[in-house]
Amino acid sequence: MAVNMLENHSVDEFLVACGLGPDEADSLGDDKATLFNIFLDFKSKRDQFTEIAVSLSRLIQKLPGVHSVRWRVKDPHHLIKKIARKKVAAVEKYAAISSGNYRDVVTDLVGIRALHLFKGDFPTLHRSIIDTWELDENPTAYVRKGDTEELRTLYRELGLEVEEHKDGYRSIHYITKTNFTKTTVKCELQVRTIFEEGWSEIDHKVRYPDFSNDPLIRDFLHIFNRLSGAADEMGTFVNRLAADLTALKAEQAAAISRASEIEDQLSEKIKKIESLSSKNSSMQSEMRDLKLLISRQKSELSNQIGIGGFASIGLSAIKLDPDLRVTSDTLRTLNISPSLYDDAVSASKNIIDTSKITDGSIEFPTKKKD
């Protein structure tokens, strides 16, 4: 029936619609009928492939590190153009292609592109992909000339084939196999950063079809490619810096919490012995000094946290009056461990400020031995 339809249509019209020139069409010979049969079969199943693409996209969107997902199903005319040119070039894989096996031969009938923000997200995303889908072949990492050996080594360690692309194209390509029905469907999954995607889209938009070989356009696009790579590196750096600052603030909060805990312990001790010190005027004076110390420290902590949070608390935020010193005799009388008192003073003096991060001199209080 398909052959009859081909006879009822102009062969030239069909091939022209697929983007083939006269010379290419003439070299196809008897393969023209095969191409038309493939065209009809794929066109009839395109809705099914669309459902597969949508379902896969939803699954990929949920993988860790994925920012967004794009998908497409190959246009039937573009499919025929691709197959025809492979046959004209005598590519062995396409020699015996037919309407019965083209879905196994052509691996990009469904194409999905997963975008992520940071280069550092890729290893986790890669493991999720290989743990979720069966691959038809080893994935390929396309890099550009000038990419670091460190990046290439990482890709090889993850089991990727590394290939330097002549046009500076960057992306990771997987061929996955999916069985939503009894028939296995292959899908080309591309993984790249948002900056790599932006450059690739602009490169394709500007260069094709009118400036494919224009040297000036090519040179500027290569510069643009290097800038997009630098943007990726800057994004990774900023992400790591934010993580380091978050960890530093957590340590700062822990130091403040420890200082507050020590203050609470001292206050509890004072409450227990206040009645015992009422008859001793010297001890009462020491008690007043100790309570004043704790009161001032709590007030400073409260004011600093209320005004600017952890980030605004400086190394000298809490100052102790040098005259407010508690003697070891008093501490023994009050049954207060000297190390507990030292921790309170040390913690008070060493609350850090994230604005001092470049000084390279931040230290946290360490507990002394009794």
Condensed to tens digits (0 to 9), the pLDDT of residues 159-201 reads: 999 999 988 889 999 999 988 878 889 999 999 999 999 988 8
Q: Residue for token digits 């691709």?
A: 82
* 315 — pLDDT class (breaks 50, 70, 90): very low
Q: Which residues contact 180 (CB under 8 A, 6 or more apart)?
A: 51, 52, 55
pLDDT at 266 > cutoff 50: yes
pLDDT at 286 > cutoff 90: no
CB 205 within 8 A of CB 220: no
Top pLDDT among 324 and 70 is at 70
Mean pLDDT of 75-98: 91
Which DSSP string do the residues of 175-218 spell out, in sequence order?
EEEE-SSSS-EEEEEEEEEHHHHHHHHHHHHHHTTT-TT-HHHH
Top pLDDT among 312 and 266 is at 266
Instruction: Say how many C-beta atoms besides its own lie within 10 A of residue 124's C-beta.
Output: 13
Q: CA 9, CA 7: separation in Å to the nearest integer?
A: 5
**pLDDT value at residue 260:** 83
**pLDDT value at residue 270:** 73
pLDDT at 359 > cutoff 90: no
Mean pLDDT of 67-79: 95
Cα 234 from chain centre: 13
Q: Which of 11-15, 261-265, 355-359 has the lowest mean pLDDT?
A: 355-359
**pLDDT value at residue 65:** 93
**pLDDT value at residue 264:** 80
Average model confidence (pLDDT) across the chain: 79
234-256 residue pLDDT tens: 988 888 899 999 999 998 888 88
Q: CA 153, CA 172: separation in Å to the nearest integer?
A: 14
* 94 — pLDDT class (breaks 50, 70, 90): very high
**pLDDT value at residue 226:** 86
pLDDT at 83 > cutoff 60: yes
* 352 — pLDDT class (breaks 50, 70, 90): very low
* 357 — pLDDT class (breaks 50, 70, 90): very low
Torsion of CA 222, 227, 232, 238, to 10 degrees: 170
* 269 — pLDDT class (breaks 50, 70, 90): confident
Q: CA 300, CA 316: separation in Å to the nearest integer?
A: 11
pLDDT at 265 > cutoff 90: no
Q: CA 167, CA 222: separation in Å to the nearest integer?
A: 8
Top pLDDT among 342 and 35 is at 35
Of residues 260, 251, 269, 257, the one with CA closest to residue 338: 269
% of the chain exceeding 90 in pLDDT: 38
**pLDDT value at residue 366:** 47
